[in-house]
């Protein structure tokens, strides 16, 4: 799920050991299988950012992608994923000042607190989007959340699915948390399809408020962070 987180994820909860950021969102039980989650310093989920790939037709084979760690000169990637068509499920584009603050947060993600990546593809490592994972608390459990965004001209090629699988492996290699979650909007079928194809299991719905004053309902998808050789094949 850019996606956010990311519901579509725009951001992340506070990584352990990184001062100056807001606490991560904490879920609270409400009726049925719905949980209420407050948006965090990173956002409400890029998938959890702004995933826009998946569709309802024949699924493309996952593309070959590589994850490169977020760098000082990657602010332009945030500007690309800040387009209206990529933030429709996130309350709309952010200001330039907000993007600069987000960029600094991405740079400060490190180690157990999570990582942010640029997604590259093809023989020339062309930048096609972004993805990351970050720490948060869900029902008193320390977990990771993920979110991604694929540039519009590269959507529909299986890139989001491949990136989601790759970031799952990165989060598993970190070794400190057992689950990775994604929170696409319930009204964003493409993002939910990415989660399913990447091997996540649907747990139910959660209610987000992100940004402040913008309520949204998301699906809570989860995958266990197990070694790749023991993980069941994605459906």
Instruction: Look up the CATH number of the domain holding residue 126.
Output: 3.40.630.30
Residue entry with tokens 């490592």: 125
Quote the percentage of the chain above a pLDDT of 70. Answer: 70
Domain that holds residue 87: 28-226
Is the pLDDT higher at 61 or at 224? 224
Mean pLDDT along residues 38-63: 47
Give me the number of domains the chain comprises.
1
Maximal C-alpha separation, the chain: 50
84: DSSP letter: G
- Of 52, 89, 43, which Cα lies nearest the Cα of 187? 89
Instruction: For residue 125, tell me if it sits in a domain.
Output: yes
Residue 56 has pLDDT above 50, yes or no: no
Q: What is the per-residue pLDDT for 34? A: 34
Is residue 7 situated within a structural domain?
Answer: no
Cα separation values, 109 from 33, 38, 132, 134, 184, Å: 31, 20, 9, 8, 22
Q: How confident is the model at residue 210 (pLDDT cuts 50, 70, 90)?
A: confident
- Beta carbons of 209 and 215 less than 8 angstroms apart: yes
CA distance 3 to 219: 13
Q: Are 164 and 131 in contact (CB under 8 A)?
A: yes
Is the whole model's pTM more than 0.85, yes or no?
no
Residue 20 lies in a domain: no
Q: Is residue 19 part of a domain?
A: no
Report yes or no on 64 lying in a domain: yes
User: Would you say residue 6 lies in a domain?
Assistant: no
Q: How confident is the model over 163-201, as pLDDT tens digits? A: 999 999 999 998 789 999 999 999 989 999 999 999 999
CB 180 within 8 A of CB 146: yes
Q: How far is CA 219 from CA 61, 118, 197, in A?
A: 24, 25, 15
Rounded Cα distance, 50 and 10, in Å: 7
66-122 tens-digit pLDDT: 999 999 999 999 999 999 888 887 778 999 999 999 999 999 998 788 999 999 999
User: How far, in Å, CA of 215 to CA of 194, rounded?
Assistant: 23
pLDDT the model gives residue 62 = 65
pLDDT at 101 (0 to 100): 96
12-30 confidence digits (pLDDT tens): 332 332 222 222 333 333 3
Q: Which contiguous run of DSSP H or E holds residue 28?
A: strand 28-29
Say if 5 falls within a structural domain. Answer: no
- Strand ranges inside 60-122, DSSP E: 65-69, 114-121
Q: What is the DSSP letter of 62?
A: P
Tell whether 3 is covered by a domain.
Answer: no
Distance (Å, whole) CA 207 – CA 214: 11
- Cα→Cα distances 112→108, 142, 147, 163, 226, Å: 12, 11, 17, 19, 16
């Amino acid at each position: 799920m850019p996606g956010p987180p990311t519901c579509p994820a725009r951001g992340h909860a506070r990584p352990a050991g990184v001062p100056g950021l807001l606490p991560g969102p904490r879920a609270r039980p409400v009726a049925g299988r719905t949980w209420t989650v407050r948006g965090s310093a990173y956002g409400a989920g890029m998938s959890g950012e702004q995933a826009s790939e998946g569709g309802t037709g024949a699924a493309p084979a996952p593309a070959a992608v590589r994850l490169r760690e977020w760098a000082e000169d990657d602010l332009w990637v945030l500007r690309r994923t800040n387009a209206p068509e990529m933030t429709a499920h996130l309350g709309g584009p952010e200001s330039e000042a907000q993007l600069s603050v987000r960029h600094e947060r991405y740079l400060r993600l490190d180690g157990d607190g999570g990582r942010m990546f640029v997604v590259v593809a093809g023989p020339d490592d062309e930048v096609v989007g972004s993805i990351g994972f970050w720490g948060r608390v869900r029902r008193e459990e320390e977990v990771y959340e993920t979110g991604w965004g694929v540039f519009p001209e590269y959507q529909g090629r299986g890139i989001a699915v491949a990136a989601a699988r790759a970031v799952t492996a990165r989060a598993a290699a970190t070794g400190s948390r057992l689950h990775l979650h994604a929170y696409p909007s319930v009204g964003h079928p493409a993002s939910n399809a990415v989660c399913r194809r990447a091997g996540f299991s649907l747990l139910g719905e959660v209610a987000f408020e992100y940004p402040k004053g913008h309520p949204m309902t998301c699906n809570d998808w989860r995958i266990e962070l197990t070694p790749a050789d023991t993980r069941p094949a994605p459906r």
